[in-house]
Amino acid sequence: MLKEMLENVREKCPLVHNITNYVTVNDCANALLACGGSPIMSDDIDDVEDITTICGGLNINIGTLNQRTIPSMHKAGKKSNELGHPVLLDPVGAGASALRTKTAMELIENVKFTVIRGNISEIKTLALGAGSTRGVDADIADRVTEDNLAQAVAFAKEFAAKTGAVIAITGAIDIVANAEKAYCIFNGHPMMSSITGTGCQLSAITTAYVTANQETPLEAVAAAVCLMGACGEKAYKRLSKEDGNATYRNYIIDAIYNMTGDELEEMAKVEIY
């Protein structure tokens, strides 16, 4: 299954429209190219409808939210819905400020999302209508662990049923769920939290995966999450004593570029719930 998802992206080279975080926009573009997709970055309200029309999928990331781009997110999202294109929401920092929480909630009300991907604190905020995060990171009290995994899976399935989206909760343990089924993924490395942008890159890559595998969105998201975690592991093994987080970021993108379907199948650490 993972091999097929990866190879479909390489074969179809999906064009992805990104309204994304300007802190990580370059890394998102390069990660998309590395996985086999193609990026377009556009957030002007007079541009987004035309751009999303020529693309296959839309990635909305609220990481550097501002009043100018909020209407663009709604306009592009509605156009993508009209065209039947997959749409992903990355609600970065939902719960950290009233504007972020309000914007994410209104987007969910007005746009049909194929995927909602965030950390556990962000997803809880959207599910409950209020919450808190530690900056753009998950609150320590919200961490998904082996002890609370079953409850977290049940929560993800419930939110998936409510929204109709595949819910991807990413962290030390990743959960990818629809209303009936969940994949728990144990790939990754702690050093991934030392660089800005792994989550943003994952959202861009996930959009490419669901665009290239529209008949199997749950499996496509699981494959993308496995890919990112496995690449974090591969990149860490390449580091020398003199290397730091900047080199690690580049090695992750290199690992995405070089990953094969067979290697992904071999490296994936997945349990089904």
DSSP characters over 38-105: EEEE---TTTHHHHHHHSSEEEEE-TT--TTTHHHHHHHHHHHHHHT--EEEE-TTBTTBHHHHHHHH
Confidence of residue 134 (pLDDT cuts 50, 70, 90): very low
- Split into its structural domains, the chain has a count of 1
- Kindly indicate the confidence band of residue 215, based on its pLDDT and cuts at 50, 70 and 90: very high
CA distance 32 to 257: 9
Which domain CATH number covers 50?
3.40.1190.20
* pLDDT of res. 133: 52
Q: What is the pLDDT of residue 227?
A: 98
Flag whether the pTM goes above 0.85. yes
Nearest alpha carbon to residue 170 among 126, 203, 217, 135: 203
Q: What is the predicted pLDDT for the residue at 129? A: 78
pLDDT band at 242 (very low <50, low <70, confident <90, very high): very high
Share of residues in the chain with pLDDT > 90 (%): 92
What is the pLDDT at residue 130?
60
Q: Which residue has the higher pLDDT, 203 or 133?
A: 203
* Domain of 173, in residue numbers: 2-272
Average pLDDT over residues 47-73: 97
pLDDT of residue 141: 54
- 62 Cβ contact list (under 8 Å, min separation 6): 21, 73, 89, 90, 91, 92, 93, 94, 100, 103, 104, 107
